[in-house]
Amino acid sequence: MSLSFDIALCFPDFALQVAAELPARGLTVLFGPSGSGKSSLLRVLAGLERGAEGRVSFGGEIWQDGRRFLPPHRRGVGYVFQDARLFPHLDVQGNLDYAVRRARGRGARPDPDVVGAALGLGPLMRRQVAQLSGGQRQRVAIARALLSCPRVLLMDEPLSALDAAARAEILPHIEALRDAAGVPILYVTHSAEELARLADRVMILRDGCVRREGPLAEVLSDPDAIPALGVREAGAVLPATLSAHTGDGLSVLSISGGELVLPRVEADPGARLRVRIHAHEVIVARRRPSALSALNILPATVTQVRLGEGPGAAVQLRLGEDLILARITRRSALALGLAPGVDCYAIVKSVAVAQGDVGGFSGE
Ligand SMILES: Nc1ncnc2c1ncn2[C@@H]1O[C@H](COP(=O)(O)OP(=O)(O)OP(=O)(O)O)[C@@H](O)[C@H]1O
């Protein structure tokens, strides 16, 4: 069942006005600068902002409309915060059992063993909360939210308090959760890496309003989305299938526009993946270069060119059925005569795609 809302919330110095419909399953990333209203929107949906006006409904059930207001505990929302907020006097099993007890009578409950396995909690069940690392605590918090049988899962920067190693450890678990949870997930982050790895859909908020909303591939390949993502972070995400590993530490991925050779990707041949290609790592050539160190030289066609006000230009390229972005200088875009319809080559260094840029594919 989908979650739809059209809400307004006014604080003395800030106004939030957002309307959207989240599909029945899949993960929507709410992305935007600090103070754009991301947490406030989650709080409204959870029923934690009595001052919010407008309408919120889930499937056919009205959560909020005019004077009607369903309190938080009757909405069936799972909430994961930046800090895990576990019960410190219980072990991991005790924390999960609490969620299972709370969920009683709320319909189909996920199997605790399956959730525990998906989040890698098996060996941790008898540990006290104080004996867990930050990443482990967050995994327990996510499992607990799921076992409470939520109809919607709200995750507010669940990885922001963790270091890079803990984030890398937990991201594959959230990918698995996204594909298995079967409920709408709204996930707040400032991180373009989490956005690229996890989102099925993206909603970019700024100053309390939605600036852009749509499927991940569409938003990330849009030159207009670059300012919202930041020029160093912008880049498209391509679906890929791992074809083979080579003897010299590389992996070959098949994409709709050819093959990508990357540093070894830890997955089995046949695995469906998504690969993020940073716009500033793509070089554009009008002729196929030779004697070049870069391993990926892919035939492409220019679909859009946006000249910036400064020295930069954003070029959208079609590679097979997919779109990628190249961020080059305005001078190069003009010198090469790049314009929609022009055939060219997109050149991507293998090592420009890091481990964190390759994630599990979501069966959208
Ligand atoms: N209870 C409140 N009373 C008054 N103003 C508030 C209240 N809660 C939030 N605000 C204001 O609303 C705006 C949006 O805050 P919110 O926490 O939703 O932003 P955010 O996008 O989640 O930011 P961050 O990424 O820093 O967490 C901010 O200007 C904040 O100061």
Q: Give pLDDT tens digits for 310-349.
A: 899 999 999 999 999 999 999 999 999 999 999 999 999 9
Q: How many residues does the chain have?
A: 364
**Alpha carbons 139 and 53: distance in angstroms, whole number:** 34
**Pairing relation of β-strands 250-255 and 258-263?**
antiparallel
Atom of ligand 1 nearest to the CA of 190: 25
Q: How far is CA 358 from CA 135, 237, 352, 354, in A?
A: 20, 9, 12, 7
**What CATH number should be reported for the domain whose range is 3-220?**
3.40.50.300
Q: Which residues pair with 305 in a beta bridge?
A: 315
- Residues contacting ligand 1 via CB (< 6 Å): 11, 14, 32, 34-40
State residue 150's pLDDT score.
87
- In this structure, the residue with its CA closest to atom 9 of ligand 1 is 40
State residue 11's pLDDT score.
95
- 82 Cα to the center of ligand 1, angstroms: 15
Q: Using an 8 Å Cβ cutoff, are 198 and 209 in contact?
A: no
Residue 104 phi/psi, 5° resolution?
-50, 135
Residue 37, both tokens: 């209203």
Low-confidence ranges of the chain (pLDDT < 70): 104-108, 362-364
| Tokens 């482990």, residue located | 136
Q: Where are the domains of the chain?
A: 3-220, 235-360
- 26 Cα to the center of ligand 1, angstroms: 26
Q: How far is CA 83 from CA 88, 90, 241, 289, in A?
A: 13, 17, 35, 50
Residue 152, both tokens: 């919607």
The residues, any chain, with a CB within 8 Å of residue 354's CB and separated by 6 or more, are none
- In this structure, the residue with its CA closest to atom 1 of ligand 1 is 11
What are the percentages of helix, strand and coil residues in the chain, rounded to 5?
Answer: 30, 40, 35
Residue 304, both tokens: 């859009």
Q: Using an 8 Å Cβ cutoff, are 157 and 82 in contact?
A: yes
Pocket test for ligand 1, best of 10, 13, 14, 194 (most atoms within 8 A of CB): 14
Letter string b/e over residues 94-126, b meaning 16 or more CB atoms within 10 A of that residue's CB: ebbebbbeebeeeeebbebeebbebbbbeebee
At residue 304, what is the residue type? Answer: Q
- In this structure, the residue with its CA closest to atom 7 of ligand 1 is 11
- 208 Cα to the center of ligand 1, angstroms: 9
| Overall fold of domain 235-360 | OB fold (Dihydrolipoamide Acetyltransferase, E2P) (2.40.50)
Atom of ligand 1 nearest to the CA of 39: 22
* Predicted TM-score of the model (pTM): 0.88
State residue 364's pLDDT score.
45
Residue 43, both tokens: 């709080």
**Edge-to-edge strand ranges of the sheet holding 68-69:** 14-22, 3-11, 53-58, 61-65, 68-69
pLDDT tens, position by position, 52-69: 999 999 998 999 998 899
- In this structure, the residue with its CA closest to atom 12 of ligand 1 is 14
pLDDT tens, position by position, 111-146: 888 888 878 898 999 999 999 988 899 889 988 988
- 12 Cα to the center of ligand 1, angstroms: 11
